[in-house]
Structure 1
Amino acid sequence: MLRNLADVYRFQDEYAEAASFYSEALQIAIDLSDESGRASSIFGLAETHRLQYKYDEATKLYSECLQIYTNTGSKRERATALWGLAEVHRKKDEFTEAKKLYSEALQIYTDVGDRRERAVTLWGLAEVHRFQDEYNEAINVYSEALQIYTDIGDHQERANTLWSLANVHRLQQEYSEARKLYSESLQVYTDIADRRGRGTAIWGLAEVHRSLHEYNEATKLYSEAMQIFTDIGDNYWRAETLMSLASTNQEQGHSGEAISLYTEASEVWEEIGYSGPASDALENAADIRKTLQQTVAHSAEALKVGEDLLLTSE
């Protein structure tokens, strides 16, 4: 009962409450020497930490989970723990390890005939291919996952996969196809009341408009996405959207606004432990300041030359 309640809170993105109930359920399972209940509670805690980008703690918990399921011979549950570890490695850009773990989980899900979890794992593998710029392979694997989700009627994951396919097409500058797929995912997210998903689909559409230099429409959509991410407390996507808005302003020559947005993005990245992107954001802001200073210096130099010429002519 406690684990079920914790699951509900986790699915509602209420992570503090979820962690509290998982921890309570874990203690009861330990007291009763219930290894299955212990593993399930640990897995729930691992998921909660992963979704909050606390990857070190998530890795520790998934590994503990994996050991229990390996000891008890629970194949499907072992695959789930492998998948969780693969997700963490993917998020940390450790793609070789992620690919290995996804492949191991995929083999188990294929062996036990679990189509849904097979699709979830295929999606993760496709993400690895995408991040490694292996776009054709990514499209093939996403499409395989999409077909399974369509067949089994899983609207949530179907929308996620449509969004991912849209991303690949956008990265290949196939903007018409990207727009179509983002719009399709947006409709599904809206239908199932997934606010985060809706925000990411709107962000994707904004990215397409920015790539096409349609800045007014892009800014409008980024702002709509930003409001959603702020409302639900998703700082990762808030930072991503701040970066996109900063780039949009930079491309239009709105230097002051771009600097402000990059600085704000850096602060949010730091809050959630993303030191790399935080540093990149500050570097972008510094580059704009440097360009502005050079422009001012060149203007002052040109003005001085003009004044000297004027004095000479007199």
Structure 2
Amino acid sequence: MQTKALAPEYQGALTKMSVNASLTDVLAEGVRHLRQAELSGSQEEVARSGLAVAEAHRRLGQVAEADRAWKASYRAARSAGNTGAMAWALWSGGTLARQRGALRLAFRLLGLAAELGKRGGDVVARGYSLAGLAETGRIQGDYATVATLHEQLLAEARARGEARHTVWALEGIAQIHRNTGSLDTALEMFEEAAVLAGDADDRRGRAWALRGIADIVSLRDGATGRALDLLAEAEVTCREMNLSSALAYNHKMRANVLFRAGRYEEARTVYEQALGEFRAMDEPRGEALASLGLVKARARLGRDRHATAADLDELRGRLSRIGLLNAREMVEKAYAELGVEPSSAGAGDDRR
């Protein structure tokens, strides 16, 4: 039996905040309670309120503020001797590191968070931290390593009736199936996630699931209209909740759908929009993926072949430095797709 979606990262005085609360509202409430906690001298409440502040900043794309907030939350938790709160702060820091493309740091922080969650008896903090490790590996493209962990976390979430975590796991496994070519299975899992998220009133989870469905029906069926409608529905949620990162990825997917339909001028415009959004929030993975789409759209619109090759060389090197294996493979395929050769052997490749 699945419960209504909850937001366990909203803690202390913010426990009653809805998972669907606007991030600007979460930030305002978090800052207000943080100031009260600082005046009261309660380091534990400083840590709990600070966690919500860190997460709101992160999801709004305010990277520097998020970085300061999670570290302050961790210091307060350590001062209070609260192992569980320390785990949550490290989870937030690890998630931010992944968002910024610092994958090695993400693995380290999330691993420490999982260890502290286990030591402190905080099952949810441990679960979220393990999920963060799984997602980091999936984003990196290391599917063989993390597929089993995704399945384990899905089983645990189902057993505990945690709808939000179940939705996350379904979407992660669906994405692995999509990236490895099992489109039918991926679609089934994205659709299950969308229904479950809707039943649990998890608007964020549903928005991501709709994006996944749109991707598959566009790629597999060429159903451009349906895909764009699904993305439009998801965009409403992203805007109402101020989900900056989700909105940027929504726009990148819209551009992908337009590109597949041969609507290259429209695709170029939307890729440029998404690229600007990713740059504004310092999200290098999204920036690189939007850049790749933009290179392909410009090539289809007649960009010089040598310039296209140089653009792909730069992207290949950038993705190698970040460690995004799957995205780097996408660049390799783009050379052949666009009929260009690397400008020079190994250009942009720093795997020495």
TM-score (norm 1): 0.82
CA contact 2:61–2:280 (8 Å) conserved in 1: no
Match of 2:271 among 262, 277, 283: 262
Q: Is 1:193 paired with 2:198? A: no
Q: Is 1:84 paired with 2:92? A: yes
Paired residues for 1:1-314 under 5 Å = 6-9=14-17, 11-216=19-224, 217-274=226-283, 277=286, 281=290, 284-285=293-294, 288-289=297-298, 291-293=300-302
CA distance in 2, matches of 1:77, 1:193: 26
| 1:217-272 Cα shifts (integer Å, max 9, x gaps) | 43343333334434444332222222222222223322222223223323433444
CA distance in 2, matches of 1:59, 1:12: 23
RMSD: 2.7
CA distance in 2, matches of 1:41, 1:231: 23
| 1:53-81 Cα shifts (integer Å, max 9, x gaps) | 22221221211222222233221221111
| 1:262-287 Cα shifts (integer Å, max 9, x gaps) | 23323433444447745764675465
CA contact 1:265–1:281 (8 Å) conserved in 2: yes
CA distance in 2, matches of 1:185, 1:250: 26
Could you say if the C-alpha distance between residues 40 and 242 of structure 1 is closer, same or farther in structure 2, counting changes exceeding 3 Å?
closer
| 1:102-146 Cα shifts (integer Å, max 9, x gaps) | 111212222344333222111101011112211022111111211
Could you say if the C-alpha distance between residues 214 and 42 of structure 1 is closer, same or farther in structure 2, counting changes exceeding 3 Å?
same
CA distance in 2, matches of 1:279, 1:110: 35
In structure 1, the residue corresponding to 2:141 is in which secondary structure?
Answer: coil
Question: Greater CA deviation, 216-225 or 202-211?
Answer: 216-225
CA distance in 1, matches of 2:76, 2:104: 25
Amino acid in structure 1 at the alignment position of 2:133? L
Amino acid in structure 1 at the alignment position of 2:264? S
Could you say if the C-alpha distance between residues 280 and 211 of structure 1 is closer, same or farther in structure 2, counting changes exceeding 3 Å?
closer
CA contact 1:46–1:61 (8 Å) conserved in 2: yes
Tell me the CA shift for residue 12 of structure 1. Answer: 3.4
Identity fraction in percent:
21
CA contact 1:7–1:44 (8 Å) conserved in 2: no
CA distance in 1, matches of 2:166, 2:29: 30
Structure 2 residue aligned with 1:312 = none
CA contact 2:20–2:204 (8 Å) conserved in 1: no
CA distance in 2, matches of 1:208, 1:274: 24
Greater fraction of residues in helix: 1
CA contact 1:6–1:19 (8 Å) conserved in 2: no
CA contact 2:265–2:301 (8 Å) conserved in 1: no
In structure 1, the residue corresponding to 2:301 is in which secondary structure?
Answer: helix
Could you say if the C-alpha distance between residues 31 and 293 of structure 1 is closer, same or farther in structure 2, counting changes exceeding 3 Å?
closer
Could you say if the C-alpha distance between residues 103 and 212 of structure 1 is closer, same or farther in structure 2, counting changes exceeding 3 Å?
same
Could you say if the C-alpha distance between residues 22 and 227 of structure 1 is closer, same or farther in structure 2, counting changes exceeding 3 Å?
closer
CA distance in 2, matches of 1:226, 1:24: 29
The structure having more radius of gyration, on CA atoms, is: 1
In structure 1, the residue corresponding to 2:86 is in which secondary structure?
Answer: helix
Question: Greater CA deviation, 91-100 or 69-78?
Answer: 69-78
CA distance in 2, matches of 1:48, 1:10: 13
Greater RCO (Cα-Cα under 8 Å, separation 6 or more): 2
Structure 1, gaps ≥5 residues long: 296-314
